[in-house]
Amino acid sequence: MAFVIGPEAPLPLWLSALDAQMQRSPGFFEARPVIVDFAALNPNDPGTDTLIAALESRGLSVIDVENAGDLPSADPWRRRLVGGRDTGVAKLPAEAVAAPKPADEPSSPPSLILDDPIRSGQSVLFLKGDVVANGFVSSGAEILASGSIHIYGALRGRAIAGALGDAHARIFCQKFEAELVSIDGYYSTADDFDPALRGRAVQIRLLNDAISITPLG
């Protein structure tokens, strides 16, 4: 079912009333196709030429226009819908309608779990979330993740977290013997590591734009 909406002048006031309605009932307009009826508007009313853009910027999906006269900004939408039937005037809900959860959001954030060790020369690239490695990461091997990296073995190679830009990403490992670690583009190599941390379980994160490595537990 599509809505026919009839905006009235003055448009700024009408749009702010629409905003208030949408805020009260976010679920009501969600992904709802609308047809804009220009009958109550004069082409010279301020805001008429930008009306469709203003509606679309609010997330409404304009599928057709009616009574638009020769308004140029309405041209792309003109006469796209034929055979529509009138179902009467829709009643806006007085009670707030909760916005449904977006359907494409999975119940848990995606992560990649690796059961085999990552051997020298192997590169694991995962740009949708966290990587969990059950084995070790060898010297000359690397894991790149957009999220955090968790290694339940020795990290002897490279771990690059927040690879698409995420300063909150972290790296955890059971045994720290890394060649290089990086978060959000900041990196640190083995030469810079505190020798006292070698072989220990550590957490690596970004503090004040610097790599910070602290023992775990």
Partner 1 sequence: MAKVVVVTSGKGGVGKTTSTAALGAALAQSGERVVVVDFDVGLRNLDLIMGAERRVVFDLINVIQGDAKLTQALIRDKRLENLMLLPASQTRDKDALTGEGVARVIAELRESFDWVLCDSPAGIERGALLAMHHADIAVVVTNPEVSSVRDSDRIIGMLDSTTERAERGERIEKHLLLTRYDPARAQRGDMLSVEDVLEILSIPLLGIIPESQEVLRASNVGSPVTLNAPVSAPARAYSDAVRRLRGEIVEMTIPSDKIGLVARLFGRRVA
Site residues, partner 1 (CB under 8 A): 116-122, 135-136, 138-141, 156
Separation between Cα atoms, residue 205 and residue 172, nearest integer Å: 9
Q: Which is nearer to partner 1, 47 or 117 (CB)?
A: 117
Q: Closest CB to partner 1 among 129 and 140?
A: 140
Which C-beta is closer to partner 1: that of 62 or that of 178? 178
Residue 175 CB, shortest distance to partner 1, in Å, is 10
Distance (Å, whole) CA 71 – CA 81: 18
Length reported for the chain: 217
- Shortest distance in whole angstroms from residue 106 CB to partner 1: 27
H-run or E-run covering 53: helix 51-56
- Tell me whether residue 104 or residue 115 sits nearer to partner 1 (CB atom): 115
Q: What's the closest the beta carbon of residue 153 comes to partner 1, in angstroms?
A: 9
CA dihedral 53, 58, 62, 65 (to 10 degrees): -60
8 Å CB contact between 188 and 159: no
Amino acid code (one letter) for 34: V
3 state DSSP class of 76: helix
Q: How far is the CB of 117 from partner 1 (least distance, A)?
A: 6
